[in-house]
C-alpha cells in the first residue's frame, strides 16, 4: 500500500492504495466521487472520462499512482458552485441523456473537445466522440447539445 | 490486475538500473495497451517503471531534414503539432487517427513502437518514411526494427528514446479501421522520398510490411493507376471474424491507391 | 406564471426538460455500484470456460486460504440450503399439446455447465481485487463434452444434448394460424416470394453493467437487495416464491438509478440471487459488479432466428397468405420471457400493416450451448417486422411495383381489424405515416440523388419499413391465456400531502425513460399543481405497492393509465370534500386549473387548501368521508396497443471498400397521444440507433467448434458510435389508442423494430441484390457490390 496524493476538483486529497489501483477506483472508492463510471474493461466506452492536468483521459486506464501529483477534475467539479457548466446545461436543454450512465464521461469529453476545437461541425463532433459509447440516445441529442454548447461558450 | 510494484524514476540511468535489478519489470509509457492488457490479466509484470518523469524523452523537434519525436510524446501532441503538420502532414494525420481523443492524450509513440501491435498505426509511418528508432544504446533503421507480430529488434532492457522521421517530398496515410476496435484493419502509408517511393502496410498482415511491387510501379509512374491490380498476397494476410484475408488483400490495393492520390493532390 | 401558462409549459404535450437530469449531469446519480454498505464484502464468480462439460470436482482450498477470502460457495451449498432454480415466466405448448421441455436452471452449476460463462462457484472476499485473485485459484475439474451453438444441426438426433429433458434440443414445436387456409392461399397464388432470413444474435450492452448488493439484517431477518432491475417487484416475487431465498415480507428489492436495460435487466440472474443469499451466510453485505467481459457472456442475448418465409400474392399483387417457419435459438436455459419472445411476441405480429387473409407460422424453440436468449428491445417484434418487410420489399421489386405503392395497395384500412394471428388492431392510419415519411425524405427526387451518387462512384439505395408492434403488454387475461405466469397490469398510488404536494408511487421502473418527468407532467396537468410539487417514486418494494415493471413499451400505456385512474379517484374524493367545505352540492363543484369552485360563484378552494382540509377533517363528516387524500389503482387495459409507422433509410455504399453510410433516416411513427415530444423523439433516436446497429454493426458470434464467444468485448462486438450514425429525421402522426384513458401506445421499441429492414432494403436496393445477411459488414457489402 502506498499513499497517493493529488488535487481533485481543487482539493488536495490523499489515500492509501495498492499500486494496482486504477484512478477511477481511487476516485470512486477512496474519495466517494461516484459520478465517474466504469462501463467496460477494454478502455473503449468512455464512461470513466476525467481531466488529468487539463486533458480528458480514460481513468480506467490510468493508475492512481500515475496521477499522483496531478490536477484532476471530475464531473462533480465541473459546475461552478450552483452554476452549471454550459455543456451540462446544454445536455439538459437538448435531452442529451437518458439513463445517465455514460453522461459524466460524455460531458467531460465534450468539455475537452470544445477546449481544443471551439466551433466544431457535426462531422467533427461525431468523430471526436469516437471514445464514448451511449446506448440510449443514438447520439443525436448529444451531438445537438455539444453543438449548442459550442455556440454559447 | 495482478499485484506489482510501481516505480517513477527521473533519469534514463535510473530506468536502466531498475531494469537490471528487478525480476520481471515492464516499462510503462502511456499505458494504453499495457494497462489494458494487465486489466485482462494477460500480463503480470513484477514491476512497472513509469517513464513520465524521465527527462529528455518527450517532445517534438523539426529541422530541415527530420522530424524528431521523443518516445514519451503523446499522439495528441503529434496530431496537433503545427510543425509536424507542416513538415509531414501525413504523420500528423496518422497520429490523429489513433484510438480516440482520450487515448491520444495518454498513448505515446514509444509505447506504440515498442509494442508493435500488428494493427497499430505508427509502425506504418515508421516503415513508410524510413524512420530511425533511437534507443538508449543504438540507432535502428525501421527496416530492421519491425520483426512481425509484437516482435521488434529491441533487446532486453533497451529503451526507445526517440524516433527520427526523414521529411519526404510527399506522403499520405489511408486507414481502414476495424469497425469494432477502430484499430487498423488495413492501413497504408505511402511516401515519396529522395531515396525512392516507400509503401508500408499495417493491420493486414502479421506485422507491418513494405509493398515492394507497388514501390517499383510507383517509382516509374507515381499515380494510383500505376498500382491498379497490385495487392498484397492473400495467403500472407490475417483472417478473423471481421475480415477475410481476401478482403484485407483487396483493401491494401484500394487504400494504397487512395493514399497515392492523397500524395499527388 | 398563471395556471394556464404553467399547463402549457409543463402539462401534457409539452417538451419539459427532465427533472431527473440534474443529478446525472452533476455526477450525483445513485447507481447500484455507487451504493456502499458498511462492511460490504465482494463477490467474484468462477465461470465455465467450456460450452459444455461435466463438473467433476471443485477444489477451493487454495482460494479459501488466499488473502482476504471469507467464503467460497458452490452449487452444493445452494442445494444444501434448498434453494430452487431460476425460472421462465411463460409456458408455451407444442402443436401436439405437450408443454415446453427444458432442464432445471440452477443458481450455481451442480453437475454440468452448459455455456461459456455459466456460473460454477462464487468467491467472497474483503476487496473486489482479492475476490478475483482468489477466483483464479478455484480448481474445477471439468469433463469437456461436445457442444452445439447454432440451431442448424442442434435438432439432429446425434447432436450434443443441452438438457436430457429436451430431446433433440427441442424445447417446443409451436404453431400459430390456420394451416389449411394458408395452404389454400398458396395453392391459389399467382406468385410466391420466398426468403431465407437470419436475424442475428445481439448483446444488449446497457452501458451500466449488471450489479447487486445483498444485505441481511440479523435483527429483523430482512434481506435487502440493491440491484440493476427493470422490475424490482417481479425480482422479489421470483426470489421468494421460486428460488426461496426469503419470504416476500422479509425481502426488500431496491432498483436505484439503473443505467439502461433494453430487456437485459428483466431476468433475475444467478449473480443477484447469490448476493442476497450469501449475505446471510457471510454475515455482511455482499456486492458484485459485472465486468463488461462478464456482461458479454452472462447477460441475456437477443434475437437469433433462422427463418424460411413465403408470401403468396394474387395476379394483382394483393397479398393472399404468409407461411413462416422459424427456428429460434433459446440458448442453454430459459429466462423470464424466453419462451414468449419467439412465439407470442413474434408470430402475432406477422400480419404487419397488411390485410393478410391467411397466416401460418411454425416456431421451433431450440436449446443450444450458448448464453440464454431473452427479451431485447423489441423482443420478437423486430424479428417479425424483419420477415414481413423484407418479403414485402422483395415482392414489390419482383412485381416491378413501387415499394410505397405496393404497400398502400395492401394496407389495412378498416378498424378494428382482426388479423389471422390473434391480434385485433384497434386503430391506425398506415398510409398517413407512409405519406409523411415519403414527404420527409423527398422520395420523389430519389432517382436524381442516386444518379448524382453514381457520378461520384457510389451506390445509393432507398429502403422502406412499415412496421407494427403490440405494446403495453397487457391485458392480463389475454396474456394469461397465452401462457404468461403473471398478470400484466400496472399499479399506481397517488399520495396528496397536507400541503398539496404529491407523491406518486408507480410500479413502472425508469432506467432512462424519463418517468420522473412524464409521469409528473400528467399529475401536474390533471391536478393543476406545479410540476415541482410532484415526486415520482419507483424502484423500491418497501415504498411502492406491487408493480410489474418496465419493458415492452408499457410504462406509458399501462403505468400512466394506472396513475390516471388513481388521479380520477383522488379528484372524486376531493370533490366530495370540497362540496362540504364550500357548502355546496357535489354536482356543483367544478375542478379546473387546480381550483375547486362552486359553479357560477367565486367561492372556491385551491388544490393545496383542499388537501389541508382533507387532512384536518375539520369541515366534513369523517364518518362519511375518511380523512386523508391518497388513492391507489391497479389498472388493466382492455387491449394491447398498436404503435405503427414507416421508416425510410437512404444509404450510400463505397464499392471499393464496402462501407455503408446511412445518409438519411426518416422515422414517422404513430404512438397515439404524446406526453412529452422531446422524450418520445429521444426514444426513437435510441431505438433507431440500435436497429442500425443490428443491420450494420452488431453480431454475437460463437465459435461453432468450441462454443467460445468470439465477440466477447467491445474490441470485437461492434457498438454503434456517434460517427457510425447520422442525425435522424423524426415525425409523428396520431391516432389515439382507444384501449387506455390517455390514448397512449408506447414508443420505446419502435426504432429497433422499424430500422433493420429499412436499412437492409436500402442496401439491397443500392447493390441490386436480392438479399444480404445482417450485419452488413464492409466485407459483406464489398462482396455483394463486386459479385464475389
All domains in chain C, ordered by first residue: 3-29+489-635 (3.30.365.10), 37-145+209-258+265-298 (3.90.1170.50), 302-474+639-785 (3.30.365.10)
Q: Which of C570, C551, C419, C545 is nearest to C491 (CA)?
A: C545
Would B248 be classed as within a structural domain? Answer: yes
Q: Which residues of A touch B36 (CB under 8 A)?
A: 42-43, 61
The closest CB to that of A57, out of B5, B6, B105, belongs to B105
Q: Is B84 in the same domain as B153? A: yes
Distance, CA of C73 to CA of C92 (rounded, Å): 34
- Show which subunits contact A, needing at least 3 CB pairs below 8 angstroms: B, C
Other CB atoms within a 10 A radius of the CB of residue B69 amount to 28
Centroid of chain to Cα C735: 23
B179 with C293: Cβ contact below 8 A: no
- Confidence tier at C722 by pLDDT (50, 70, 90): very high
A131 with B101: Cβ contact below 8 A: yes
Would B206 be classed as within a structural domain? Answer: yes
C657 with B254: Cβ contact below 8 A: yes
B31 with A66: Cβ contact below 8 A: yes
Give the pLDDT confidence of C313-352 residue by residue, as tens digits. 999 999 999 999 999 999 999 999 999 999 999 999 999 9
Distance, CA of C81 to CA of C58 (rounded, Å): 18
- A window 60-79, beta carbon within 8 A of C: 74-76, 78-79
To which H or E segment does residue A46 belong? Answer: none
Which residues, 6 or more positions from B78, have their beta carbon under 8 angstroms from its beta carbon? B60, B69, B84, B91, B92, B95, B109
Give the pLDDT confidence of C442-452 residue by residue, as tens digits. 999 999 999 99
C779 with B243: Cβ contact below 8 A: yes
In this prediction, the residues of chain B whose per-residue pLDDT falls under 70 are 264-265
Distance from CA of A121 to the nearest CA of C (A): 12
Q: Which of B104, B4, B89, B86 is nearest to B44 (CA)?
A: B4
Inter-residue contact C512 to A100 (CB < 8 Å) = yes
Distance from CA of A77 to the nearest CA of C (A): 8
Inter-residue contact B227 to B167 (CB < 8 Å) = no
Q: How many CA atoms lie within 13 A of C497 on its CB side?
A: 10
Residue C319: all three cell numbers together? 397479398
In this prediction, the residues of chain A whose per-residue pLDDT falls under 70 are none
Three-state SS letters, A108-147: HHHHHHHHHCCCCCHHHHHHHHHHCCCCCCCCHHHHHHHH
Inter-residue contact C652 to C661 (CB < 8 Å) = yes
* CATH number (domain holding residue B225): 3.30.465.10
What is the mean predicted confidence (pLDDT) over C419-435?
97
Q: Which CATH number fits domain A86-152: 3.10.450.240, 1.10.150.120, 1.10.10.10, 3.40.50.150?
A: 1.10.150.120
The closest CB to that of A136, out of C512, C723, C728, belongs to C512
Would B114 be classed as within a structural domain? Answer: yes
Give the pLDDT confidence of C315-324 residue by residue, as tens digits. 999 999 999 9
Answer whether the bond into residue C643 is a cis peptide, omega within 30°: no
Q: How many CA atoms lie within 13 A of C764 on its CB side?
A: 23
Q: Which residues of B touch A49 (CB under 8 A)?
A: 102
- C window 697-736, beta carbon within 8 A of A: 713-715, 719-723, 725, 727-728
Q: Report yes or no: B225 at the C interface, CB cutoff 8 Å.
A: no
The predicted structure's pLDDT at residue C1: 56
Beta bridge partners of C199: C305
Distance from CA of B249 to the nearest CA of C (A): 11
Would B207 be classed as within a structural domain? Answer: yes
The predicted structure's pLDDT at residue C9: 87
Q: Where are the domains of chain A?
A: 2-77, 86-152
The predicted structure's pLDDT at residue B165: 98
Dihedral (C-alpha) A128, C678, C668, C756: value to the nearest 10 degrees? 40
Residue C4 has pLDDT above 70, yes or no: no
Residue reference for cell 423500491: C540
Residue span of the structural domain in which B24 resides:
5-50
A138 with C751: Cβ contact below 8 A: yes
Inter-residue contact A133 to A116 (CB < 8 Å) = no
Q: Which of C9, C21, C10, C11 is nearest to C682 (CA)?
A: C21
A136 with C34: Cβ contact below 8 A: no
* CATH number (domain holding residue B13): 3.30.43.10
Q: Report yes or no: C22 at the A interface, CB cutoff 8 Å.
A: yes
The closest CB to that of B102, out of A46, A65, A66, belongs to A46
Residue A22: all three cell numbers together? 486504477
To which H or E segment does residue C74 belong? Answer: strand C69-74
To which H or E segment does residue C583 belong? Answer: none
Residue reference for cell 467496460: A40
Which residues, 6 or more positions from C71, have their beta carbon under 8 angstroms from its beta carbon? C64, C123, C124, C278, C281, C282
Q: Which of C302, C294, C307 is nearest to C264 (CA)?
A: C302
- C window 204-233, beta carbon within 8 A of A: 205-209
Q: Is B34 in the same domain as B71? A: no
Percentage of chain C lying above the pLDDT 90 cut: 96
ipTM over 0.95: yes
Inter-residue contact C593 to C7 (CB < 8 Å) = yes
Distance from CA of C214 to the nearest CA of B (A): 25
- Show which subunits contact C, needing at least 3 CB pairs below 8 angstroms: A, B
CA end-to-end span of chain C, whole Å? Answer: 67
C710 with B176: Cβ contact below 8 A: no
**How many domains, chain B?**
2
B103 with A43: Cβ contact below 8 A: yes
A101 with C208: Cβ contact below 8 A: yes
Q: Report yes or no: B242 at the C interface, CB cutoff 8 Å.
A: yes
Least confident of B155-159, C378-382, C396-400: B155-159
Does the domain at residues A2-77 carry the CATH identifier 3.10.20.30?
yes
Most distant CA atoms of chain C, gap in Å: 86
Distance from CA of C538 to the nearest CA of A (A): 15
Q: Is B193 in the same domain as B116? A: yes
C713 with A33: Cβ contact below 8 A: no
C778 with B40: Cβ contact below 8 A: no
- DSSP code for C511: S
Give the pLDDT confidence of C52-79 residue by residue, as tens digits. 999 999 999 999 999 999 999 999 999 9
Distance, CA of C311 to CA of C395 (rounded, Å): 8
What are the residue ranges of helices labelled H in C498-654?
A: 515-527, 561-581, 607-616
Q: Which residues of C touch A18 (CB under 8 A)?
A: 129
Give the pLDDT confidence of C201-255 residue by residue, as tens digits. 999 999 999 999 999 999 999 999 999 999 999 999 999 999 999 999 999 999 9
Give the pLDDT confidence of C499-533 residue by residue, as tens digits. 999 999 999 999 999 999 999 999 999 999 999 99
Distance, CA of C115 to CA of C368 (rounded, Å): 8
Answer whether the bond into residue C416 is a cis peptide, omega within 30°: yes
Q: Is B142 in the same domain as B243? A: yes
- Confidence tier at C3 by pLDDT (50, 70, 90): low
Q: Report yes or no: A52 at the C interface, CB cutoff 8 Å.
A: no
Burial (Cβ within 10 Å: 0-12, 13-18, ≥19) of residue C181: middle
Helix (H, G, I), strand (E, B) or coil at C409: helix
Inter-residue contact C294 to C173 (CB < 8 Å) = no
Amino acid at each position: 500500500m502506498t499513499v497517493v496524493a493529488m488535487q481533485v476538483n481543487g482539493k488536495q486529497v490523499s489515500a492509501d492504495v495498492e499500486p494496482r489501483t486504477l484512478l477511477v477506483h481511487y476516485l470512486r472508492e477512496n474519495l466517494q466521487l461516484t459520478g465517474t463510471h466504469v462501463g467496460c474493461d477494454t478502455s473503449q466506452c468512455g464512461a470513466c472520462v476525467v481531466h488529468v492536468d487539463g486533458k480528458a483521459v480514460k481513468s480506467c486506464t490510468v493508475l492512481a499512482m500515475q496521477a499522483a501529483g496531478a490536477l484532476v477534475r471530475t464531473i462533480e467539479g465541473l459546475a461552478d458552485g450552483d452554476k452549471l457548466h454550459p455543456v451540462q446545461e446544454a445536455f439538459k436543454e437538448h435531452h442529451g441523456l437518458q439513463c445517465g450512465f455514460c453522461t459524466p464521461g460524455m460531458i467531460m469529453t465534450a468539455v475537452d473537445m470544445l477546449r481544443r476545437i471551439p466551433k466544431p461541425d457535426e462531422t467533427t463532433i461525431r468523430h471526436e466522440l469516437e471514445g464514448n459509447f451511449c446506448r440510449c440516445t443514438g447520439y443525436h441529442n448529444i451531438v445537438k447539445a455539444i453543438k449548442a454548447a459550442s455556440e454559447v461558450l | 490486475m495482478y499485484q506489482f510494484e510501481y516505480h517513477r524514476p527521473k533519469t534514463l540511468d535510473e530506468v536502466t538500473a531498475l531494469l537490471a535489478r528487478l525480476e520481471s519489470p515492464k516499462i510503462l509509457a502511456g499505458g494504453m495497451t499495457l494497462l489494458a492488457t494487465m486489466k485482462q490479466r494477460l500480463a503480470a509484470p513484477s514491476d512497472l517503471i513509469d517513464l513520465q518523469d524521465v527527462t529528455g524523452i518527450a517532445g517534438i523537434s523539426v529541422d530541415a531534414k527530420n522530424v524528431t519525436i521523443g518516445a514519451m510524446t503523446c499522439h495528441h501532441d503529434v496530431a496537433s503539432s503545427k510543425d509536424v503538420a507542416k513538415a509531414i502532414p501525413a504523420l500528423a494525420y496518422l497520429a490523429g487517427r489513433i484510438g480516440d481523443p482520450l487515448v491520444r492524450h495518454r498513448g505515446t509513440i514509444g509505447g506504440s513502437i515498442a509494442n508493435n501491435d500488428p494493427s497499430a498505426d505508427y509502425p506504418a509511418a515508421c516503415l513508410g518514411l524510413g524512420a530511425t528508432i533511437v534507443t538508449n544504446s543504438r540507432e535502428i533503421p525501421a527496416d530492421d526494427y519491425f520483426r512481425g507480430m509484437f516482435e521488434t529488434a529491441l533487446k532486453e532492457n533497451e529503451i526507445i528514446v526517440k524516433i527520427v522521421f526523414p521529411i519526404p517530398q510527399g506522403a499520405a496515410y489511408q486507414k481502414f479501421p476495424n469497425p469494432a476496435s477502430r484499430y487498423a484493419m488495413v492501413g497504408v502509408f505511402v511516401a515519396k522520398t529522395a531515396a525512392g517511393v516507400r509503401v508500408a502496410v499495417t493491420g493486414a498482415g502479421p506485422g507491418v510490411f513494405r509493398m515492394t511491387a507497388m514501390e517499383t510501379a510507383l517509382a516509374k509512374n507515381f499515380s494510383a493507376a500505376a498500382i491498379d491490380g497490385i495487392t498484397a498476397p492473400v495467403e500472407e494476410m490475417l483472417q478473423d471474424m471481421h475480415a477475410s484475408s481476401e478482403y484485407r488483400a483487396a483493401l491494401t490495393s484500394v487504400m494504397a491507391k487512395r493514399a497515392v492520390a492523397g500524395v499527388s493532390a | 406564471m398563471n395556471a394556464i401558462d404553467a399547463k402549457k409549459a409543463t402539462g401534457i404535450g409539452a417538451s419539459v426538460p427532465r427533472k431527473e437530469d440534474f443529478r446525472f449531469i452533476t455526477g450525483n446519480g445513485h447507481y447500484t455500484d455507487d451504493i456502499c454498505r458498511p462492511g460490504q464484502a465482494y463477490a467474484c464468480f468462477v465461470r465455465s470456460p467450456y460450452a459444455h462439460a461435466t463438473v467433476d470436482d471443485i477444489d477451493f482450498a487454495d482460494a479459501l486460504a488466499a488473502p482476504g477470502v471469507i467464503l467460497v460457495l458452490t452449487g452444493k451449498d445452494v442445494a444444501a440450503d434448498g434453494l430452487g432454480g431460476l425460472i421462465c415466466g411463460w409456458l408455451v405448448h407444442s402443436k401436439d399439446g405437450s408443454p415446453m421441455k427444458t432442464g432445471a436452471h440452477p443458481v450455481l452449476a451442480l453437475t454440468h455447465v452448459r455455456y461459456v460463462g455459466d456460473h460454477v462457484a462464487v468467491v467472497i472476499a474483503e476487496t473486489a481485487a482479492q475476490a478475483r485473485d482468489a477466483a483464479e485459484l478455484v480448481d474445477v475439474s471439468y469433463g469437456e463434452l461436445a457442444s452445439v451453438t447454432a440451431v442448424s444441426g442442434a435438432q439432429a438426433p446425434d447432436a450434443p444434448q443441452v438438457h436430457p429433458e429436451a430431446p433433440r434440443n427441442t424445447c417446443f414445436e409451436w404453431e400459430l394460424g390456420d394451416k389449411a387456409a394458408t395452404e389454400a392461399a398458396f395453392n391459389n397464388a399467382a406468385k410466391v416470394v420466398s426468403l431465407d432470413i437470419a436475424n442475428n444474435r445481439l448483446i444488449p450492452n446497457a452501458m451500466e453493467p449488471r450489479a447487486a448488493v445483498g444485505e441481511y439484517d440479523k435483527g429483523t431477518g430482512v434481506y435487502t437487495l440493491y440491484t440493476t432491475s427493470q422490475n424490482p417487484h417481479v425480482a422479489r416475487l421470483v426470489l421468494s416464491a421460486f428460488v426461496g431465498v426469503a419470504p416476500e415480507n422479509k425481502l426488500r428489492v431496491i432498483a436505484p438509478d439503473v443505467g439502461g436495460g433494453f430487456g437485459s435487466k428483466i431476468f433475475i440472474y444467478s449473480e443477484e440471487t447469490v448476493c442476497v443469499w450469501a449475505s446471510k451466510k457471510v454475515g455482511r453485505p455482499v456486492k458484485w459488479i459485472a465486468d463488461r467481459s462478464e456482461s458479454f457472456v452472462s447477460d441475456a442475448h437477443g434475437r437469433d432466428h433462422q427463418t424460411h418465409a413465403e408470401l403468396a400474392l394474387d395476379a394483382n399483387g394483393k397479398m393472399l397468405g404468409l407461411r413462416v417457419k422459424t427456428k429460434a435459438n433459446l440458448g442453454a436455459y430459459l429466462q423470464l420471457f424466453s419462451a414468449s419472445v419467439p412465439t407470442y411476441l413474434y408470430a402475432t405480429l406477422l400480419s404487419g400493416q397488411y390485410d393478410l387473409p391467411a397466416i401460418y407460422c411454425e416456431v421451433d424453440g431450440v436449446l443450444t450451448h450458448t448464453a440464454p436468449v431473452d427479451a431485447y428491445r423489441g423482443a420478437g417484434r423486430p424479428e417479425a417486422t424483419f420477415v414481413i418487410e423484407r418479403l414485402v420489399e422483395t415482392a414489390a421489386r419482383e412485381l416491378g411495383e413501387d415499394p410505397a405503392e405496393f404497400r398502400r395497395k395492401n394496407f389495412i384500412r378498416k378498424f378494428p381489424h382482426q388479423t389471422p394471428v390473434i391480434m385485433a388492431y384497434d386503430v391506425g392510419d398506415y398510409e398517413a405515416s407512409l405519406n409523411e415519411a415519403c414527404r420527409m425524405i423527398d422520395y420523389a427526387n430519389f432517382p436524381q440523388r442516386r444518379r448524382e451518387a453514381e457520378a461520384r462512384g457510389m451506390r445509393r439505395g432507398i429502403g422502406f419499413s412499415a412496421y407494427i408492434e403490440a405494446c403495453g403488454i397487457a391485458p392480463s387475461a389475454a396474456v394469461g391465456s397465452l401462457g404468461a405466469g403473471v398478470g400484466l397490469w400496472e399499479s399506481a398510488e397517488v399520495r396528496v400531502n397536507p400541503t398539496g404536494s404529491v407523491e406518486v408511487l408507480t410500479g413502472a421502473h425508469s432506467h432512462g425513460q424519463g418517468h420522473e418527468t412524464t409521469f409528473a407532467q400528467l399529475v401536474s396537468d390533471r391536478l393543476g399543481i406545479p410540476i415541482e410539487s410532484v415526486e415520482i417514486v419507483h424502484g423500491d418494494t418497501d415504498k411502492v405497492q406491487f408493480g410489474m415493471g418496465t419493458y415492452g413499451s408499457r410504462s406509458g400505456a399501462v403505468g400512466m393509465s394506472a396513475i390516471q385512474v388513481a388521479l380520477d379517484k383522488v379528484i372524486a374524493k376531493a370533490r366530495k370534500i370540497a362540496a362540504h367545505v364550500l357548502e355546496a352540492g357535489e354536482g356543483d363543484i367544478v375542478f379546473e386549473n387546480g381550483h375547486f369552485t362552486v359553479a357560477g360563484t367565486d367561492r372556491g378552494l385551491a388544490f393545496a387548501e383542499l388537501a389541508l382540509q382533507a387532512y384536518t377533517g375539520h369541515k366534513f363528516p369523517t364518518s362519511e368521508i375518511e380523512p386523508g387524500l391518497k388513492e391507489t389503482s391497479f389498472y388493466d387495459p382492455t387491449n394491447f396497443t398498436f404503435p405503427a409507422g414507416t421508416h425510410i433509410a437512404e444509404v450510400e455504399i463505397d464499392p471499393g471498400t464496402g462501407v455503408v453510410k446511412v445518409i438519411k433516416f426518416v422515422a414517422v411513427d404513430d404512438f397515439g397521444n404524446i406526453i412529452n415530444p422531446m422524450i418520445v423523439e429521444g426514444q426513437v433516436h435510441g431505438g433507431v440507433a440500435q436497429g442500425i446497429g443490428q443491420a450494420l454493426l452488431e453480431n454475437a458470434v460463437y465459435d461453432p467448434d468450441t462454443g467460445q464467444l468470439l465477440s466477447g468485448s467491445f474490441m470485437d462486438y461492434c457498438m454503434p458510435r456517434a460517427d457510425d450514425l447520422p442525425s435522424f429525421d423524426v415525425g409523428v402522426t396520431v391516432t389515439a389508442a382507444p384501449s387506455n384513458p390517455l390514448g397512449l401506445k408506447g414508443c420505446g421499441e419502435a426504432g429497433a423494430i422499424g430500422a433493420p429492414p429499412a436499412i437492409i432494403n436500402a442496401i439491397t436496393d443500392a447493390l441490386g441484390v436480392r438479399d444480404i445477411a445482417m450485419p452488413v459488414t464492409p466485407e459483406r457489402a464489398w462482396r455483394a457490390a463486386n459479385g464475389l
